[in-house]
A = this chain, B = another copy of it.
Amino acid sequence: MASNTTTVHVALSERSYDIEIGAGLLTEAGRFVVEQTGCSHAVVITDSNVESLHGQRVAECLEQAGTRVDMATVPAGESTKSASHIDQLWRLMLEFAADRKSVVVAVGGGVVGDLAGFIAATYGRGIRFVQIPTTLLAQVDSSVGGKVGINLPGAKNMVGAFWQPTSVLIDTDVLNTLPLREYRSGLAEVVKYGVILDPEFFSYLEANIDGLNNREPNVMRHIVARSCELKAQVVSADEREETGLRAVLNYGHTFCHAFEAETGYGTYLHGEAVAIGMLCASRLAESMGRIDAEVTRRQFKLLDALGLPLAVPDVDQDVLIGAMQKDKKTEHGKLRFVLPTRLGHVELVSGVPVELVRAALVSS
């Protein structure tokens, strides 16, 4: 890879893999996939938005590298993560005569990665796949961790697998074509990594507001690489979400899931709901005497400077609390939150009094 490329290693014993991050890497996708996998057949899975922007380029690149290439384009949007689309893709794989040596190449955001990854996890009882995430959120979140799958009606990500990619290629140039709102939504997850794991990274973000807002290449490479590194550390310690360690990644997410569910999916982008959720969680931690007001204030200021929404949605508090009690990470209706103890450190806290949750839902 070129010299301006950063490599992040995800350590998962025999399932370990590398993430290559740099500007303009998409043009090297063909060579990259063939070098990494030695495959003679690749199936590019992309969506109707990304196909013309990047999907076709990746497919052409792969052909030039000497691989037989097929392409499957699914409709853009969360509703594509369904059993019926998985069935269609399984049949397409068969039509393409994909076998155990074929490689699935996912080109798109989180939906494409989750769907393509689940195809790779199940077709032929599991084949290799390479992720080429094209949204900031997918680059910093779903490209690390191996969670793949689909939704059931009313139950997000209820069916799936832990299936690690063979490798991940991240071209930060693709962020330039990302709509502003979607880009900002990804930044919310970047901020989250600072809050939960790395105060220095948080300070770096505070010091680089302009670079972040202008999508400066060096800033892009650094924030994507550092986010992947931080998530990789957590995932390496708890690959299958069994020890509870991986729960730290859910900072802000109990609130976030309630906002998403009760405003109707689509009102908020995921990162927007995460931003509001982090501030709620931070206020909650304050009210429990776990942190001082400065920690909340710094998050507020940073998220605000990055153009993220900060106000709690106008939904009845009881409805939101009811949704939190039904969250799949909740046990028997007991409210449980990931809360900071200082900038760069969080803990899982059970049995939080409902009055404090209610108070945290009031934007300060």
Interface residues of A in 47-63 (CB under 8 A from B): none
Which of B84, B94, B147 contacts A152 (CB under 8 A)? Answer: B94
Report copies per complex: 2
Point out the residues of chain B lying under 8 angstroms from A84, CB to CB.
Answer: 87
Point out the residues of chain B lying under 8 angstroms from A83, CB to CB.
Answer: 83, 86-87, 90
Known: A83-B83, A99-B328. A123 touches B158 (CB 8 A): yes
Interface string of A124-156 (1 = CB under 8 A from B): 111000000000000000000001010011110
Whether a CB of chain B sits under 8 angstroms from the CB of A334 is no
Closest to A149 in B: B125
Complex Cα distance A90/B150, Å?
11
Do A90 and B158 have beta carbons less than 8 Å apart? yes
Do A162 and B87 have beta carbons less than 8 Å apart? no
Whether a CB of chain B sits under 8 angstroms from the CB of A196 is no
Do B94 and A155 have beta carbons less than 8 Å apart? yes
Whether a CB of chain B sits under 8 angstroms from the CB of A161 is yes
Whether a CB of chain B sits under 8 angstroms from the CB of A122 is yes
Complex Cα distance A122/B155, Å?
14
Complex Cα distance A197/B58, Å?
48
Could you list 29 A-B pairs, sorted by A, with CB under 8 Å? A83-B83, A83-B86, A83-B87, A83-B90, A84-B87, A87-B87, A90-B152, A90-B158, A91-B152, A91-B153, A94-B152, A94-B158, A99-B328, A122-B122, A122-B149, A122-B160, A122-B161, A123-B158, A123-B159, A124-B158, A125-B159, A125-B160, A125-B161, A125-B162, A125-B241, A126-B161, A126-B162, A126-B240, A161-B161
